[in-house]
Amino acid sequence: MLLGCRLVAALAACLLFAWSASAQQQTTSPATAFQYGAGPVTSFAGSPTDWITITASGTKKLSVTTIDICGHIGSGGTPVTVPISLIMRSTTDTGGTSTPQTAGNLSGSAVTPTATVAMFTNNPTLGTAVATINVKPLLAGPPGGDGCVFFQYGPASSTGPLIVLPGRQLAVNLQGQTLPAGFSATSTIGTTEQ
């Protein structure tokens, strides 16, 4: 009887170890890193709302790690402050005029992203906002006085990664502000998918 109990206990311990190892392997599969860059962009909606959207697919976990936006005014222009908001949406934007952005794979593999990143030149009909995640002022000046805002998430950040759930969208929103003549901007967006 004692031998039988020991065998059952040993078998249970083996099964528990095997299950734990299997579960750990499933949750620690390597993430693929992507980066999207654009600019200088000179064409905007008249009073831009959602300028860039990052939409998660239904198949992979999407984490946004960085969003860098820089802007400047042409020669002789007056510096301007443009509020840059990150808005999480539970439903995606529709309509408008947009251009899909092409990702560079930073992981050295041939994997392509399942998320989509789009840049709008005519405002879309906005999806449902869940929360404004962050707002920063971008002070855009003439050449030599360019301003930038940096949104950092992930390992280098105390907040951890910014997760976009399947079917949801993160928007870079310019709050409908009228942009001055000669305004241009660049953007760099880093994501991972797992």
Q: What is the pLDDT of residues 137-160, one digit of tens each?
A: 999 887 667 899 999 997 766 678
Residue 3: predicted pLDDT = 42
Average pLDDT over the chain, rounded to an integer? 85
Quick one: pLDDT band at residue 28, thresholds 50, 70, 90?
low
Judge whether residue 191 has pLDDT over 80: yes
25-29, 109-113, 183-187 — most confident range: 183-187
Q: Is the pLDDT of residue 19 over 50?
A: no
pLDDT at 15 over 90: no
Phi, psi for 49 (deg, rounded to 5): -105, -105
Place of tokens 């709302």: 49
Amino acid 142: pLDDT:
74
pLDDT digits (tens, 9 = 90+) for 108-129: 888 899 999 999 999 999 999 9
Q: Average of pLDDT values for 78-101? A: 95
What is the reported pTM?
0.82
At 88 the pLDDT is 98
φ and ψ at 59, to 5 degrees? -115, -20
Provide φ and ψ at 31, rounded to 5°. -85, 150
Instruction: Look at residue 65 and tell me whether its pLDDT is greater than 80.
Output: yes
Write the DSSP string, the chain: -HHHHHHHHHHHHHHHHHHHHHHHHHHTPPPEEEEEEEEEE----SS-SEEEEEE--SSS-EEEEEEEEEEE--TTPPPEEEEEEEEEESS--BSSEEEEPPEEETTSS----SSEEEEEEEPPBP--EEEEEEEEEEEEBSTT--EEEEEE-BTTSTTB-EEE-TT-EEEEE-TTPPPPTT-EEEEEEEEEE-
- Residue 2: band (very low, low, confident or very high) from pLDDT cuts 50, 70, 90: very low
Domain boundaries, the chain: 31-193
- Cβ atoms of 84 and 135 within 8 Å: the answer is yes
